[in-house]
Structure 1
Amino acid sequence: ETGLGDANARLARQLDTLRTQLRELQQRSSQDQQEREAWQESHHERTTADKTAHAAQLSLVDSRLKSFEDALSKSGETHARHAEGVLAHHNTISERFGPLEQKLAELSAFCEESVRDRANQAKLEESIVKQLQEEREVREKQLAFEQQARQAQEKLTEAMQRSFEQLKHDLAKDRSDDAVQRGRAEELERQVGQFEQKLTEL
């Protein structure tokens, strides 16, 4: 478009120059006409030749002026056709890129939805981790309680075992005594039986 504008400007300047030359030639022709009228009688042949030459020159200038006017008109038509072509190309691009803009908008909406899904998933994962941590803490407390119960059971078993051994020792000692203490020995045997039953239950 800039090139066409420059060409049009050059043609316009040339047209102005030719018009100026035409006016100058017309002025000169007028002056020559006056001179020819004054010298017509003595210089008839020369005046006729000059008049013919000026007429030919004027015809040439008119022809060149007409050619430049035609060229300027054609240049304007070419510029108009180029503008129409540019507009048609722009419309074609708009038609082609319209669906792409729609796809881009859909992709943007999908990305926003994915970001929201990722945020919800992160919250869910955080909740699951918190729940697992709470379950682990409960399990650790349960294991600690079981260990304490097992240690208490072991201590109780050891204490009952020592008592059982002491009872057997006392029973053996009482059996070696006289028959007067048989009643006590029977009581001890009964207690030993109870301890054995409790040990079996443990």
Structure 2
Amino acid sequence: MTRDDIDQKIFLDEIQKQEDQQIVEGIAHMANVVDAHNDYFSEFGIKKFYDMMETAIKDGREVIDGQHDRIAKDNTVINHYISDGKSPSSLTGKVYPKTCHIVAIKVHDKDEWEKWKTKKYNAFSWDFMARVIKRKAVISFAKQVFTKTSADDGHEHHAWLFYDNDGNFVKGYTSPELDSNGILHNHMIKNVTNTRENSHGKHRVL
């Protein structure tokens, strides 16, 4: 979980903690959503990685490190599943978006737990070797997309995203809304996953 990797991840505020049991649960990855490295996984890819993780757990080969340092920490995977968008987590009651790989771990080490509590660790991130195969495809896409942002600080925004003729993101902005202090504000959108941060915070683009 490197901080550079984490900065643009879509699931920062999805991390759920059960402090009395030192359990952390959150999204490891979501299908068809571009990440900070401009990559994405299909639903097939999410299922494939779920199967790989399931096999590693059964074989006792799963390793949970910190910030991709490749040093195993004293953590145990206690649950992982692919969300259906409707069923709540048996651990936290959270309903996650459809086709997310959800991971829950028990943090045994108190120093490691402190890093989760202080948000030095604030997301899950896969670490693996992959072979990228380039393919050409003919696709159709909308040059303007209307969506919404995550609900943060007690409010959310409508959002508009604009793309060029090649499908590249050009710009975006949100609707003006009131924050928790009753101040009307809006955000510019810096990429397809996040608004720009300002004095009112920032949001994920859904």
TM range (shorter): under 0.3
**Structure (1/2) with the larger strand percentage:** 2
Larger Rg, first or second structure (1 or 2): 1
User: So what's the TM-score if we normalise by structure 2?
Assistant: 0.16
